[in-house]
Amino acid sequence: MNKNLENDFDVVISSKSEIKEFDFASYELNDVEIATVSEQEKIFMNTYKKMKNNLFDMCSSLALIEKTLKPTGSFMAWYSSKGLTKDAVSVYLKRWKFYKEFPDFKEKIFSYSDQAIKILTNNEIKYEEVLSILENDIYKIKEIRKLLIPVIEENKREFLPAGQKFFNFKKVERMKKRTMKLNDTDKQEYKKELTEYIKKLQQLVEEIWIIKIIWLKKQKLL
């Protein structure tokens, strides 16, 4: 199924208030056409429900596999052997943890698009803010982004360590951990890009200092 169509359909089917019987009498349809649509509708809806149940089972199984293999450090090797990407596995596990935290919203959680799951499980979003989305009929990714992206940015600033107004230095630790997982060839490429990144940061610092000097001169403070 086309992913955009699938996501649009998720919006409707996950909201019980929008599911209703189709009014065949309002249209010029003969008995054969009505019978055909009715029969295929049952197949379509049943298949869709199975697909959602399959997603639930997949997430549940993957979470158990991760729990079993992670202590031995073999989880990544296992999912790689099955052709799964790190991003796909991450979304499956995030969806499952999301459901475990909000079990009363199973239908909604397993109907959200992957992009919606990524936003709703962002560490910068508070419990109450996620609950507000779940309690209301908000499914479209555009609406979720509009409501939560500003919140994420605000919370990032709110939880910066003391003395840090603009940058979270914990990212440096995450970068360090990432390098430990790279092979020798990738480490060299990573080092090259990091060196260039540091160079650009140094240039930025110099530019900021020059701007400050120019401003002070204009104010006749130098």
Contact 128, 138 (CB under 8 A): no
The yes-or-no verdict on residue 99 having pLDDT over 70 is yes
pLDDT at 33: 87
Q: Are 168 and 123 in the same domain?
A: no
Q: Are 146 and 174 in the same domain?
A: no
- Scan for tokens 């909201």, then name that residue: 15
Domain ends where: 108, 142, 159? 159
Task: For 39-88, write each residue's pLDDT tens digit.
Answer: 988 887 788 777 777 889 999 999 999 999 988 888 889 989 888 899 99
pLDDT at 179: 76
Domain that holds residue 178: 164-222
The per-residue pLDDT of the chain, averaged, comes to 78
Q: Are 24 and 104 in the same domain?
A: yes
The yes-or-no verdict on residue 95 having pLDDT over 90 is yes
The yes-or-no verdict on residue 161 having pLDDT over 60 is no
Q: Are 71 and 151 in the same domain?
A: yes
Domain ends where: 159, 175, 210? 159
How far is it, in rounded angstroms, from Cα 187 to Cα 178? 10
Q: 174 pLDDT band (50/70/90 cuts)?
A: low
Q: 159 pLDDT band (50/70/90 cuts)?
A: very low
Q: Are 33 and 114 in the same domain?
A: yes
Pair of tokens at residue 60: 């549940």
Stretch 84-100: mean pLDDT, rounded? 92
Q: Are 10 and 88 in the same domain?
A: yes
How far is it, in rounded angstroms, from Cα 127 to Cα 130? 5
Q: Are 33 and 98 in the same domain?
A: yes
pLDDT at 171: 66
Q: Are 20 and 68 in the same domain?
A: yes
Is the model more confident about 173 or about 162?
A: 173
Query: What is the domain count for the chain?
Result: 2
Q: What sign has the CA pseudo-torsion 76, 79, 85, 88?
A: negative
Is the model more confident about 128 or about 150?
A: 128
Domain ends where: 159, 175, 193? 159
Task: For 101-145, write each residue's pLDDT tens digit.
Answer: 999 999 889 988 899 999 888 877 778 888 888 888 787 888 888
Stretch 171-200: mean pLDDT, rounded? 78
pLDDT at 6: 47
pLDDT at 146: 81
Q: Are 31 and 86 in the same domain?
A: yes
Q: Are 38 and 93 in the same domain?
A: yes
How far is it, in rounded angstroms, from Cα 48 to Cα 46? 5
Q: Are 8 and 48 in the same domain?
A: yes
The yes-or-no verdict on residue 189 having pLDDT over 90 is no
Q: 154 pLDDT band (50/70/90 cuts)?
A: low
Q: Give burial (CB, 10 Å; 0-12/13-18/19+) of 21.
A: exposed
Contact 139, 15 (CB under 8 A): yes
Q: Are 88 and 137 in the same domain?
A: yes
The set of residues, in sequence order, having a beta carbon less than 8 Å from that of 116 and lying 6+ positions away, is: 139, 141, 144
